[in-house]
Structure 1
Amino acid sequence: MKRMFKLAVLAGAVLSMASCDKNDDQQVAGIFKGPESAFHDGKAFSWVQISNQGKPEKLGITIDKAAWESLPVGGDGSHDHANSVTLKLHEKALATTVFKHIGLDWNPAGHEPANVYTLPHFDFHYYLMNEPDRLAIPPYEVNPAGFDAKPAAEFFPVNYFDPGGGVPQMGKHWLDATSPELGGATFTQTFIYGSYNGKVNFMEPMVTRQFIESQPAYERAIPQPAKFQESGYYPTKMRIRHTAHATEVTLEDFIYRQKAN
């Protein structure tokens, strides 16, 4: 499907994509859509909203109705490539944000640790590294030194900790110790940071399908580190919009951060 959704189809920021014309690459401001990726029986894609000053305002993921309604549920939790797709970014997103690509990962039976994250949920990986390098990340047992080369604590928000190990083609996942599910509550949503080889390499909203459907207009602040490894625009808020026609997950309220000396 190589067309924009109609104005009535998408909620929130994606609505204004209908106003983009064939010359949007020459525009300074507007919403710029990345390539579509097949996702189960539908499509998903990334998009970026740029201000009149050429600054990023939102970096989003849109999942269409056909994809949402065809998501498998259950199973043994084993990996299925149909549940994980790479969303390429429009060149405007590459030029204005610190992100390089997005990993859209659906977990029909959740994943470890058991009884914490074993609920059907999404991992929305916003990667700060390029895809070839990310795909080259081996299993933890192959290169534990790469996973255990940790950035200094100042590059993560307060209360984030290393639970050990790491995931191939992703990295080490740093968890927020204040997330309710780590204290025995039922998992709904959390925000994760990632690292590999001494670099912070992703930011990840992790959200259950049930929560998205029950909280169709949800937003939260993104925990912020004290320092940053690279200069650029970083998001400070995450938002979810879910309608009968499409689902959006966006990183918003970008602030320019200077690289730590």
Structure 2
Amino acid sequence: MKKLFLATAVIAIAFSSCKKEDSSNNNSKGGIFKGPETEMYHGKAWTWIQLDNQGNPERVAIAINDAALSSVTPGSGSTGSGHTHENNEVLAFHPKAAATPFQHAWLNWNPNGHPPAGIYDKPHFDLHFYMVPSTEREAYVDPVKLNADPAATYLPANYMGGDPVPTMGKHWVDITSPELNPTNPQPFTQTFIYGSYDSKVVFYEPMITLDFLKTTNNFVRDIPQPAQFQKSGYYPTKMRITKQDGVTNIILEGMVYRGQS
């Protein structure tokens, strides 16, 4: 509990210092750098990245304010028929995010969830952190490339591929997730997905229910790690949810430098 309190305090202090001006210390390359705000229903969403004093990434995040979470279009009650492209927002990163593999975020609201029925058909967000530009992602339509799987070492153990989605990619899910337990499935609240296209890992995706985001003040989990990485850079090892000043932050943190292999 003490460790959780300290981690929360550190993040709160970081947000507080961000309000002043990240570039105020000319001797430091560190700080929190906010991406442009995007309107989302009656609220806003944006990204931010936190760098240490040497300019190395510590956290990258998607932020959604309470006005957006409270005004998303409610579901009809019908089972989701698949990933839609009707409730999506492209979020740009601050240029400082070039220190990470991530080049843009794609925030997807699924008011009725999506298949499999009885598992992921709850209202939820797909929070894609893409390692390619948005224009490149939009060209993900070739069926052969959508189905071209990365080598197994570039995905965590126990991850299984699902149906590919045009302009998104192929989704890989952790079959050991509690909601997929074959004998004692737990209600879906959050899970962590990898995505691929043309034999490359191209996105990390926390998938989280609206209810969990609204009711969770602080949550942290490990991100399953692959044995190898296709591109050198700083990669996250944990996903965290925090609330600060009317904003819910979905954070990828615990950055570790990985060499291409």
Report the counterpart of residue 150 of structure 1 in structure 2: 149
- CA contact 1:65–1:247 (8 Å) conserved in 2: yes
Query: Cα 1:218–1:12, aligned 2, differ >3 Å: closer, same or farther?
Result: farther
Query: What do residues 84-132 of structure 1 show as CA deviations (whole Å, max 9, x unaligned)?
Result: 10110000012x1000100111111111111110001111100011111
1:182 aligns with 2:180: yes
Q: Partners in 2 of 1:89 and 1:247 — Cα distance?
A: 17
- Structure 1 residue runs of 5 or longer lacking an equivalent are 1-9
Assess if the C-alpha contact under 8 Å between 1:48 and 1:93 holds in 2.
yes
Q: Percent identity?
A: 48
Aligned mate of 1:104, from 94, 103, 107: 107
1:84 aligns with 2:88: yes
TM-score by length of 2: 0.87
1:6 corresponds to which residue?
none
Q: Is the 8 A contact 1:12 1:241 kept in 2?
A: no
- 1:221 is matched with which residue? 222
Name the SS for the 1:104 alignment partner. strand
CA contact (8 A) 2:28 2:53 kept: no
**Aligned-pair CA distance for 1:215:** 2.6
2:69–2:210 CA contact under 8 A, matched in 1: no
State the one-letter code of the partner of 1:158: A
Partners in 2 of 1:128 and 1:12 — Cα distance? 29
**Is residue 22–residue 33 contact of structure 2 (8 Å, CA) maintained in 1?**
no
Q: Does the 8 Å contact 2:146/2:166 carry over to 1?
A: no
1:165-204 alignment, distance < 5 Å: 165-183=163-181, 184-204=185-205
Aligned partner of 2:121: which letter? Answer: T
Could you say if the C-alpha distance between residues 21 and 176 of structure 1 is closer, same or farther in structure 2, counting changes exceeding 3 Å? Answer: closer
Task: Name 1:136's counterpart in structure 2.
Answer: 139
After TM superposition, the score normalised by the length of structure 1 is 0.87
What is the aligned-residue RMSD (CA, Å)?
A: 2.1
Amino acid at match of 2:115: E
Task: List aligned pairs for 1:46-57, cutoff 5 A.
Answer: 46-57=47-58
Say if 1:12 and 1:66 are closer, same or farther in 2 by CA, change over 3 A.
farther
| Conserved 8 A contact 1:194-1:201 | yes
Partner of 2:5: none
Distance 1:24 1:166 in 2: 46
Structure 2: tracts of 5 or more residues without a match: 1-10
Give, in angstroms, the shift of residue 21 of structure 1.
Answer: 5.7
Runs of 4+ in 1 over 6 A off after TM superposition: 22-26
User: 2: CA distance between counterparts of 1:175 and 1:12?
Assistant: 34
- The answer to which of 203-212 and 193-202 deviates more is 203-212
Question: What is the CA–CA distance in structure 2 between the aligned matches of 1:51 and 1:117, rounded to whole Å?
Answer: 37
